[in-house]
Structure 1
Amino acid sequence: MNMSWKGVMPAMTTKFTDDDRLDLKMFEVNLKAQMKAGVDALILGGSLGEASTLLEEEKSVLTRAAVDMVDGKIPIVVNIAEQATKAAMNAAETAEQDGASGLMILPPMRYKADDRETVTYFQEIAKSTSLPIMIYNNPVDYKIHVTLEMFEELLKYDNIQAVKESTRDTTNITRLINRFGDRLKILGGVDTLALECLVMGADGWVAGLVCAFPEETVAIYRLVKAGRIDEAAAIFRWFLPLLELDINPKLVQNIKLAEVATGIGTENVRAPRLPLAGEERAQVLSIIENGMKTRPKLPDYLNL
């Protein structure tokens, strides 16, 4: 399936049973809710998907299951976050064999590669696969900044096509557009900045709270692209306290608790993570409960 790198792409949570196995039944419940809401692709195995805790065979099971569930209707993108170039190339090969339509790739993990090493890392992966690639640029969390000059080198490879822009600097959207035009697709990667990114010309939104609130997320995107900014902003203002749950060290637990509230997930996380407890849990529940009580009525966003 061709990747267009636009629209809403949920960074899917990974569902677990009470005995810590993959919960493919609940995963399918959530996946169907995403598709019904109108998302444009699904991203598996990101930080929100607890990828660092998944066994390699579990990643393959999850990818193959998702490919079967979407039945060719939307693309499946697999995240790659590895320490070694060789391991990343192997992961790309496995994702392709499992039926993925694209890859989202982080810079090398743990080792803080310099610019030359980072560019070479991405280039070697690009040469090893026919799948289209989105670079995940998140210097705040992962300490490596993919600069405009680095993208100049990376875009010599046709299958490097997009960036998940998570620098927290919304002016970077304009810099990227000015420098690369339509050659590099841009997807906002920070929930609380998504509206600004879309208004400034981002092609899409790699979203987190979409896992619990898919309709509201897609509505914001579709309204912006239809030029109905005021309506999108009104929904976004309601959404912001919930979106802030994504910019938190316990984003996985927060978002899974929100999925419970909307009926499309469970709280189960994989150790060393534990479900929220005590005052921390109460505060998050208060935000979620208020959001549920004040949930806005949406326009017919799928037919704009």
Structure 2
Amino acid sequence: MNVSVQWEGVYPALLTPFTADDQLDIPLFEKNLNAQLEAGVHGFIIGGSLGEASTLLNSEKIELLSSALAVSAGKVPVLVNIAEQATKQAIACAQDAERNGADGLMLLPPMRYPSDSRETVTYFKSVAKETSLPIMIYNNPYDYKIMTTVAMFEELAEFSNIQAVKESTRDLTNITRMRNAFGDRFKLLGGVDTLALEALLLGCDGWVGGLVDAFPQETMAIYDLAKAGQIAEALEIYRWFMPLLELDIHPKLVQYIKLAATATGIGSEYVRAPRLPLIGAEREQVLNVIQTALAKRPVLV
């Protein structure tokens, strides 16, 4: 039985932990999931950019899905990210996720090929037609060079299962633009850690987080305080968090956030090639950011 996806709250874009011999580290994955649940997150997203989606076999994504569903035990929805080059393959992955119990999907535009507006809309519609699962469109022109505009969402609005947007344009005015155009037709979730509080205060329904993988309690505190209107209290934690949140907007965000999760005891540094673990001065610099933050870690009420 699928868990209803409300598209509100904090949804970690989960790390994919590996063993030293490049296998999925399911026990560590489940340790992280339990830490997230204990903190009160509202859902899980498997196989996003932070989850090293481009290096995962589809069978591995299904193994991660199975594990997350078992740990969640119906408490929160489990979403699978779809990031494929071919429309046919995206549909196949969506249907495979649905068959294996996923509660929803996050859907990127076509990978590698910079599709134009007509092609992008057709791609999204083609996937939406072939699954009954609720879908969140990932709008990230900064990294993926394809902008899903208000006009394009007007075309997508006819599909009732296209329900939410991961807002990663890095243009905060786009939140207001989407609200003005659609009201509450699409749920909006901020997708850039360094703009997360601003996005929530501008009316986003949730936060798809990265550093939540290492700091779930602090992430949830900011979300809860913001939604309760306790802005000064949220801002105090957010300012402490910012040097860590900036790890999310670097090309090596996977290595950086895995190092942070290792420091907090719920992750490891192993990554899948072509990524390599951090070494030398770069590793020391990131560790310094993490250790400095840990030394001043706020006491949460």
**TM superposition score normalised by structure 1:** 0.98
- Tell me which amino acid in the other structure corresponds to 2:67: A
Task: Give the Å deviation of 1:55.
Answer: 1.1
Between the aligned partners of 1:23 and 1:70, the Cα distance in structure 2 is 17
Show structure 1 runs of 5+ residues with no match: 300-304
Aligned to 1:263: 265
Which of residues 232, 238, 253 is equivalent to 1:236? 238
Task: Write out per-residue CA displacement over residues 244-285 of structure 1, whole angstroms, 9 at most, x where no aligned residue.
Answer: 001001100000000111000111111111110000000000
Aligned identity (percent) is 65
Counterpart AA for 1:45: G
Would you say 1:61 and 2:63 are equivalent positions? Answer: yes
Please state how far the C-alpha of 1:298 moved relative to its aligned partner: 1.2
Aligned mate of 2:54, from 38, 42, 52: 52
- In structure 2, what is the Cα distance between the partners aligned to 1:5 and 1:221? 14
DSSP-derived class of the 1:182 partner:
coil
CA distance in 2: counterparts of 1:118 and 1:250, whole angstroms: 27
Tell me, in whole angstroms, the C-alpha distance in 1 between the residues paired with 2:183 and 2:103: 24
Which residue of structure 1 lines up, in the alignment, with residue 206 of structure 2? 204
Alignment pair present for 1:276 and 2:275: no
Tell me the residue number matched to 1:189: 191
2:115 is aligned to: 113
Amino acid at match of 2:237: I
1:136 to 132, 138, 163: 138
2:253 aligned partner: 251
- CA apart distance, 1:56: 1.5
SS in 1 for 2:114: coil
Matches within 5 A, 1:21-100: 21-100=23-102
User: What is the alpha-carbon distance in structure 1 between the residues aligned to residue 99 and residue 67 of structure 2?
Assistant: 13
Q: Distance in 1 between matches of 2:269 and 2:192?
A: 23
Structure 1: distance between partners of 2:172 and 2:28: 35
Residue 159 in 1 paired to residue 165 in 2? Answer: no
Distance between the aligned counterparts of 1:197 and 1:56, measured in 2?
32
For residues 25-65 of structure 1, give each alpha carbon's deviation from its aligned partner in whole angstroms, at most 9, with x where no partner exists. Answer: 00000000000000000000001000111112111111111
Q: Return the alpha-carbon distance in structure 1 between the equivalents of residues 230 and 117 of structure 2.
A: 40
CA deviation string 1:149-188 (max 9, x = no partner): 0000001100000000000001111111111111100000
Q: Distance in 2 between matches of 1:120 and 1:73?
A: 34
Task: Report the AA paired with residue 122 of structure 2.
Answer: T
1:68-97 deviations in Å (ceiling 9; x for gaps): 111111000100000111100000001101
Deviating 4+ runs (over 2 angstroms): none
Residue type matched to 1:241 in 2?
Answer: P
- Which letter maps to 1:171? T
Aligned length: 299
Q: Distance in 1 between matches of 2:7 and 2:259?
A: 29
- 3-state DSSP class of the match of 2:269? coil
**Superposition RMSD in Å:** 0.5
The residue identity in structure 1 corresponding to 2:134 is P
Tell me the equivalent position of 1:216.
Answer: 218
Helix, strand or coil at the partner of 2:184: helix
Instruction: Output the amino acid matched with 1:215.
Output: Q
Name structure 2 gaps, 5 residues minimum: none
| Partner SS state of residue 183, structure 1 | coil
Deviations 1:94-122 (A, max 9, x none): 11011110000000011111101100100
Distance 2:264 2:30 in 1: 15
Q: Secondary structure at the match of 2:22?
A: coil
SS in 2 for 1:173: helix
Asked if residue 6 in structure 1 is aligned to residue 8 in structure 2, the reply is: yes
Per mean C-alpha deviation after superposition, the further-off stretch among 61-70 and 25-34 is 61-70
- Tell me the distance in 1 between the aligned counterparts of 2:4 and 2:71: 17
Q: 1-side partners of 2:22 and 2:143: how far apart?
A: 27
